[in-house]
Amino acid sequence: MQKRVLARPRIRGIVNPPGDKSISHRALILSGIAAGKARISNFLPSDDCVRTAECMRALGVAVMPVPGDLTTVEVVGAGANGLHEPGNVLDAGNSGTSLRLMAGLLAAQPFLTLITGDASLRSRPMARVIEPLTLMGASIWGRKGNTLAPLAIKGSRLHGIDYSLPVASAQVKSAILIASLFADGQTLLREPAQSRDHTERLLKWMGARLSEDNGGIRLEPTGKPLLARDIVVPGDISSAAYWMVLGAIHPDASIEIKGIGVNPTRSGILEALRKMGATIRIGNRRTSEGNEPVADITVESSEITGVEIGGELVPRLIDEIPALAVAACFARGTTVIRDAGELRVKETDRIKYLVQELRKFGAHLEETADGMVIEGAAGLSGTHCHSYEDHRLAMALAVAGLMAEGETLIESAEAVNVSYPAFWQDLERVAAS
């Protein structure tokens, strides 16, 4: 699908971005192995999360829609030993979170599972989950010397490990934590930098024994299944990021973004935009059912300047770098993004394609090995660009298109369905008012 985007003179409105993608996956998986029934509200019914729901169903978990309400699902947990061998190959589609978290779950089940994904996912690194799960006692095979999906996973009785993650990755950390629930003995994990802690928060919410240990995480199996508890998923800050950037860089904008998860391990975008000088207000702070901080965010037209983004901030805003790169095109001065080599192994090589596509608008940016350098304030001109089926690229290009002079055409615009199915409707609402 091709989308046509035009500059708008005025941006106003209230947006309610959909439920958080990371938390929706985790709520499904953890509720699926809990004892009892849980209701997940503000669930994200996007392509990626539907893949996780289908995987859990194939393992015998009842994931039930609530009639007339697309964003609520009910899950009847199978308990600690209730999953069964799936009758077919599981398909995680485009979703790295589905594949890697499921790998952790499947590594501990007494049966064989085959799991695959689309062409993008089949090119993304899997050794990072295969290695620690193998250390725990699982048998996992993958293509290209156990580095790529499809994976064959022969689960077994696992034992806890003491493991330092080589990269800060919430997917790897979560795969190990999920496997550890079923293992003999405790597991200790350390990360080089803090990644999103949604799994830890939900595990605590559901009764797991999890503690902080010298900057690391300790999980001690309780011998009991997790407790099914209702979960309300906060709005996705990664989806909100496009509106925050648009509000900050547009000369006549004011946007209120409601009910957004502002977990500090995930909300680096707020820090980065504030550091650039954006006017962002955070109000109505509360805690969700499911142990996550939530707030409303207001953003207004701002004069922004270039910044340096690197180090421990990067894992806390990794998915928002496409949006931030667009902001940097409108900042006074230079923005340098470093320590973000992980962007090269996302749904696309986001360093390569962001630089390539934003240059088509006339933006001045250079690729580096682990990030990019962006010279701002040149003004963009509409162009014909491509998302390469990457949802975050599609949405970043849409914001660029709203700010560019003339018409912008975006190819493969349907990629937004991976994380934000109503993105184009929400864009019309804020841009039309």
Residues that bind ligand S3P (CB under 6 A): 22, 97, 169-172, 174, 195-196, 318-319, 342
Is the CB of residue 366 less than 8 Å from the CB of residue 394? no
Among candidate residues 58, 47, 54, 53, the one with its CA nearest the CA of residue 31? 53
Beta carbon of residue 49, minimum distance to ligand S3P (angstroms, whole number): 10
Q: Considering beta carbons, is residue 37 or 344 the nearer one to ligand S3P? A: 344
Q: Considering beta carbons, is residue 296 or 342 the nearer one to ligand S3P? A: 342
Q: Considering beta carbons, is residue 296 or 320 the nearer one to ligand S3P? A: 320
C-alpha distances (whole Å) from 123 to each of 85, 103, 119, 151, 345 are 26, 16, 6, 12, 8
Tell me which residues are annotated as active site. Answer: 319
Q: Considering beta carbons, is residue 288 or 408 the nearer one to ligand S3P? A: 288
Among candidate residues 97, 109, 121, the one with its CA nearest the CA of residue 22? 97
Q: Considering beta carbons, is residue 261 or 382 the nearer one to ligand S3P? A: 261
Report the distance separating Cα 302 and Cα 128, nearest Å: 41
C-alpha distances (whole Å) from 129 to each of 139, 144, 282 are 12, 15, 36
Beta carbon of residue 51, minimum distance to ligand S3P (angstroms, whole number): 13
Residue 69 parent element (H or E):
strand 69-76
Beta carbon of residue 68, minimum distance to ligand S3P (angstroms, whole number): 28
Report the distance separating Cα 46 and Cα 62, nearest Å: 19
Name the CA dihedral angle for 331, 334, 335, 336, rounded to a multiple of 10 degrees: 180
Beta carbon of residue 209, minimum distance to ligand S3P (angstroms, whole number): 22
What is the DSSP pairing of strand 364-368 with strand 308-309? unpaired
Report the distance separating Cα 56 and Cα 110, nearest Å: 16
Beta carbon of residue 386, minimum distance to ligand S3P (angstroms, whole number): 20
